[in-house]
Chains A and B, each alone.
Chain A
């Protein structure tokens, strides 16, 4: 576990600061000078300066540098911001309280200035403060804030700062203080070893959750991020297991039905799951109440129904079925009933995932020998393909519904799988750094 045993203390940095800050609450005013509209087609990354955080004591020296580096890395990683290199800075920030020389930051075309300070308090806790400025108006954007946590949570505190900056400039919730659970892959294609692993969204703090003794597939976070459900061959056939992230203990779920079961996903309330179970040649959807173990069958068609995902309000399920002859996407009520098909384009559609905002479905599309990650509205309209490659598969949403992570497998005998992310307008495609290969990512909630 990361060392943020205490809830972050959020506080303003004095009455004067607060008074100014109130004028610049996120998304409060249409006249806000600094604003990135994420939904716009093309954007020029907003230039920002993030001088090294001020170490307010010798003990904080080591943290100050890392804090500003992680904040910068988070922001530039979105593709929405561009950092102005430190060696171009004219002013140095040597005191968190001193007045900012805005002319010096204007001169290097910084639009946003992020200043911060780190200290270690009497309890040995790390104290991080930051402010965000609109350089051209000379005003603070939002209020100064302070976070307190244990020293091993330094990266998380930096992610919290970056989430604040992102949120204040874009009006959207951030996603940096979040984790991803995925399948770590190693070895050649015909002898691939798979283990569950969990890491920060940016690949830091990786921890393995299972050994490589049995094939494991498609882990999915519980809504609160405390548990993971996944498919394992530990018993010899694919079955759904649940793992506590805290103590890394896992158990198989009882009486799942069928000869094998897979593709589980939690309901938004975390109390039940939907999954596929196979009897004979037929794969159908089922729902299990985790507490009682009671199982309800949701589909009965002789075709393949799999890869189900809940709507954020829990009332509906999107899934894939080949009842029409090829894999297509369908939506039905969580209690069952007649599904309605939503995908009608060329090719095959699979692995649908409902956006946390509720407005979009992300999916894998296979057409003309290529694989794509795409998004569409829940009625199937406005389909947009965001990627194209030999094999892209299995999107998962960032908690703010603005970015997708997925797996890309390369072609041929030496092919391997890696994690990538892309924003929902198709920009900023990039690889997520992992020590080995990766597949089946599941992006957890904002912590």
Chain B
């Protein structure tokens, strides 16, 4: 039962902090595996949890809110396309939600170039989602270049996770 309360709190927290800063879902990643581990205990679907297909948590964790890129590339891998297919389907089902796509680069590059590279990545995601049927006016993109890494080591294991485009969903305006 304690797990259930924690899960509800986490979802509430997620709602409350929406649209305040980049990468705000990162803290949820660890908790996400916790949900899965305890999924068997509760036979029903917890509303708003990663098991509720209409929830942001489902979008962020079960579908996946981010895709990763190769060094200095903005092409979408087959795996990235599979994630984006799921995102597109979800966005077309949940029409109240808008999306800001945040493009990022790893630290191996100059600041200005990485800003432009992050834009290429975010734009690649946005164009893919539009091609899959998501209305363009529900989305915008922004590049953070190398300004907002989520992993801090200076090795490929971290760089690979930082070269990302994150689809941040929210109900409300795009600004």
Contacts and interface: CB of A to CB of B under 8 A. Distances in A.
Determine the interface band of chain A, counting residues with CB < 8 A from chain B.
35 or more
A320 interface: yes
A28 B175 CA distance: 62
A190 B149 contact: yes
Interface in A368-425: 390-391, 393-394, 409, 411-413, 415
Contact of B110 (A194, A262, A350, A415): A350
A281 B119 CA distance: 6
A442 to B, nearest CB: 13
B142 A411 contact: no
The interface size bin for chain B is 20 to 34
B111 A304 contact: no
B112 to A, nearest CB: 4
A343 interface: no
Given A215-B147, A281-B119, A390-B154, A262 B112 contact: yes
Nearest to B74: A281
Nearest to A319: B112
Interface in B84-103: none
A193 to B, nearest CB: 11
Given A237-B142, A412-B153, A217 B119 contact: no
Interface in B116-139: 116-117, 119-120, 123-124, 127
Contacts of B113: 304, 306-307, 320, 322, 327, 350
A223 B44 CA distance: 67
Contacts of A281: 74, 119-120, 123-124, 127
B123 A190 contact: no
B148 A190 contact: yes
Nearest to A278: B119
Interface in A262-290: 262-263, 276, 278, 280-281, 283
A283 B81 CA distance: 24
Interface of A: 188-190, 192, 194, 215, 217-218, 236-238, 259-260, 262-263, 276, 278, 280-281, 283, 304, 306-307, 320, 322, 327, 350-351, 364, 366, 390-391, 393-394, 409, 411-413, 415, 440
Interface of B: 74, 107-113, 115-117, 119-120, 123-124, 127, 140-144, 147-154, 175
